[in-house]
Structure 1
Amino acid sequence: MLIGVPKEIKNHEYRVGLTPAGVKELARHGHQVLLETGAGTAIGFPDEQYAAAGAELVAAAADIFGRAEMIIKVKEPQPVEYRMLRHGQILFTYLHLAPDPEQTRGLVDSGAIAIAYETVTDDRGGLPLLAPMSEVAGRMSIQAAARALEKSQGGSGVLLGGVPGVAPGHVTVIGAGVVGLNAARMAMGLGAEVAILDRSLPRLKEIDNVFGGRIRTLYSTQDAIEQELRQADAVIGAVLIPGAAAPKLVTRDMLGLMKPGSVLVDVAIDQGGCFETSKPTTHQDPTYVVDGITHYCVANMPGGVARTSTMALTNATLPFAVALADKGYRNALQSDPHLRNGLNVYRGQITYEAVAHDLGYPYLPALEALRE
């Protein structure tokens, strides 16, 4: 199969869809990789390494989209990119379609076969291609909150870890999934007082057992969230409904409960955000203030540590990319239900139920679509 890897063009996005090791692995399986020049240069993967691994370097993204049978990316295609997709071409990347009707329409109109990293599943009910970036984003969320709390950044001037004789800051994490757990661990490691909320009692019990009460666990209700907002210096939004828009758990009115200069970090912003006042920001301009509360809503947080993120992501995606290339998309998707769960758009039809529901499209089950 002829596989194309374009350079990412989203603001301050330096990750890349394949490392040189991934190119070498695909070449070992008999596949050819087209790589846009400079795609990995910024994170220490120069063109020479890709060429040595067997990639053909291509100067223009248009040539990659025009020639490749499968496009492997990191972030969702931007308008200039999804307009270059063609009927029957495979796109393998993060999509996050539910809060993005424009991209969804572009993919539907293209006739491409769009497989989303974030909805591929595994035998344990997890999301193995989302998990590596969730781990990174969860850990980064505490770094972002700590920085935003500095007085020079407009924050309240609280040091999360405190010092002897001074109480630490209070971090509230809403959602105890991969993002939430990693955020809580980082906050605890800094010495902050940490509370985590979720509606899964088994998950809360697991966290309590592992951390021996060092992370306070709370069943998530509106009342519990409101109580936490009153004392929190930083609130991490880490709620995920796979493939669907995130629920709005903190309204604008609820911001009035918070201390001035406190911080909201919305890690769910790729799925529309879990705070009513959230809107996507960039690494170039990451924060804004609403009613005295700093909001950090960078939509590609792991891009800030792009080398680590690229290696973590491609470790997870490469086996699926090899399967798609070796078997062809139809056989690969039909034979692997977990990979098939990643199929969101198929030749003009929506094949992921949550996306169809949230955006008002007819839903065609993926297995039925593949039989056509």
Structure 2
Amino acid sequence: MGDGFFTPFGKHELIPQEEALEIMHKKGSLKIGIPKETHFQEKRVCLTPDAVSVLVANGHQIIVESGAGDGANFLDNEYSEAGAQISYNTQEVFSQHIILKVAPPSLEEIEYMKSKSYLISALQLSVQHKEYFNLLMSKKITALSFDDITDESNNHPVVKILSEIAGTSSILIASELMSTTNQGTGLIMGGIAGVRPTEIVILGAGTVGQYATKAALGLGASVKVFDSSVSKLRNLQNHIGQRVFTSIIQPKELGKAIMRCDVLIGAIRGTGRTPTIVTEDMVKNMKTGAVIVDVSIDLGGCIETSEITTHNHPTFEKHGVIHYGVTNISSRVSRTATKALSNFFLQNLIEIADYGGIETFIKREKGFRNGIYIYKGILTKKIISDWFGLPFNDINLLIF
């Protein structure tokens, strides 16, 4: 440069450069198969007819297996009128490029899938077998667990949706079980003037606990919430918007509360198996006819006497206490759960198309990428690798 003018840049750096413009993605057309759920007592479906109508209007092809929406009271003709193709051939539905379902597919259903296709479903790791993963990998399928998808705040939106439903439902279920028509004690959930309100103990201040607390307070019940995290208890207080009894989990304080309560809701979550918080001796000290709803039973349960039950036979009695241990509570209100899931999937499917396809979306969206456990036949989750002794690779090393 000339004398008397200093710059830290070299001459070549000051020459005007060409502007790099962002290349717009060409919108892709998606071919989505929605099979009928065959998992025991699974009544939900991933997309409502309204969501299908939006996707079809955007140029996407949706093939719905006949009867897929029956469990949530969505009929075939509703899907047909929304623009979906109704298929009576299960293999045809599973031959689509993207398979969208609630429960993970069976081995027979995986056989129907085309090589290098995409699967979006729950994983349910605790009940899976090694051959499930081996079969997916042999067909070079990219499989994604919607439970593990995260948002910009690193929360799990699908888990949160289902937890909200489970929390509210747990109180309504307990209310039913206390009625004399269900051989309960005949108490109303809440209270009326001059009568002591129902006493409820909730273990866990996460999303399930928050919504259970909100529902119980709304009905007029007296609520006590226990958790091992002070910050979670504080968040619950802020979420509820009113003062409610909260306490760190201490055996003596918890034991007294459980002994006096009419309803005990188990909503503790762990990273693996749910820790046992309530011992059998504590249950023995509960009132005769008291009700336990262990929402965390799908991960082992936080109450020692809990056992897994079904929607057909949801309860059993032990030590004079009624126990409810259904693992899939949201399927009990399948239409509401379907609408909530559909809202989530519709938004993501539209974004996938806007990016030009699911492959580009995976590369650009870290939260969506977090849900992938098999990428083009390669296992990408260490927890699955440790569980079943399978080799794995980091997803981030495979896509770039």
TM-score, shorter chain, exceeding 0.5: yes
* Contact persistence 2:96–2:114 (CA under 8 A): no
SS at match of 2:225: strand
Q: Which moved more, 1:343-352 or 1:116-125?
A: 343-352
1:101 pairs with 2:128: yes
1:263 pairs with 2:291: yes
Unaligned runs of 5+ in 2: 1-29
The number of equivalent residue pairs is 367
Identical pairs, percent = 34
Aligned mates of 2:155, 2:56 — CA distance in 1: 29
Offset at residue 211 of structure 1 (A): 4.3
Aligned mates of 2:399, 2:39 — CA distance in 1: 31
Aligned mates of 2:86, 2:70 — CA distance in 1: 13
Offset at residue 131 of structure 1 (A): 1.7
Aligned mates of 2:142, 2:266 — CA distance in 1: 31
SS at match of 1:283: coil
* Contact persistence 2:283–2:305 (CA under 8 A): no
Q: Which residue of 1 aligns with 2:360?
A: 331
Written as runs of structure 1 = structure 2, the 5 A alignment for 1:59-74 is 59-65=88-94, 67-74=95-102
1:197-227 deviations in Å (ceiling 9; x for gaps): 2233233223334546542111234444434
Q: Which residue of the other structure, out of 337, 345, 363, is the alignment partner of 1:309?
A: 337
Aligned mates of 2:115, 2:252 — CA distance in 1: 50
Offset at residue 238 of structure 1 (A): 1.6
1:213-251 deviations in Å (ceiling 9; x for gaps): 542111234444434322222221222346x43333334
Q: Which residue of 1 aligns with 2:323?
A: 295
Instruction: Give the partner amino acid of 2:322.
Output: T
* Contact persistence 1:108–1:349 (CA under 8 A): no
Offset at residue 182 of structure 1 (A): 0.6
In structure 2, relative to structure 1, the CA distance for the partners of 1:365 and 1:220 (3 Å cut) is farther
Instruction: Give the partner amino acid of 1:313.
Output: L
TM-score normalised by structure 1 residue count: 0.87
Q: Which residue of 2 aligns with 1:24?
A: 53
In structure 2, relative to structure 1, the CA distance for the partners of 1:185 and 1:62 (3 Å cut) is same
Written as runs of structure 1 = structure 2, the 5 A alignment for 1:156-235 is 156-209=185-238, 211=240, 214-235=243-264
* Contact persistence 1:11–1:282 (CA under 8 A): no
* Contact persistence 2:279–2:305 (CA under 8 A): yes
Q: Which residue of the other structure, out of 122, 143, 154, is the alignment partner of 1:125?
A: 154
Aligned mates of 1:360, 1:154 — CA distance in 2: 48
Q: Which residue of 2 aligns with 1:6?
A: 35
Q: Which moved more, 1:72-81 or 1:114-123?
A: 72-81
TM-score normalised by structure 2 residue count: 0.81
SS at match of 1:130: helix
Written as runs of structure 1 = structure 2, the 5 A alignment for 1:76-95 is 76-78=104-106, 80-82=108-110, 84-85=112-113, 87-95=115-123
Aligned mates of 2:109, 2:66 — CA distance in 1: 16
Aligned mates of 2:306, 2:373 — CA distance in 1: 25
Aligned mates of 1:93, 1:84 — CA distance in 2: 16
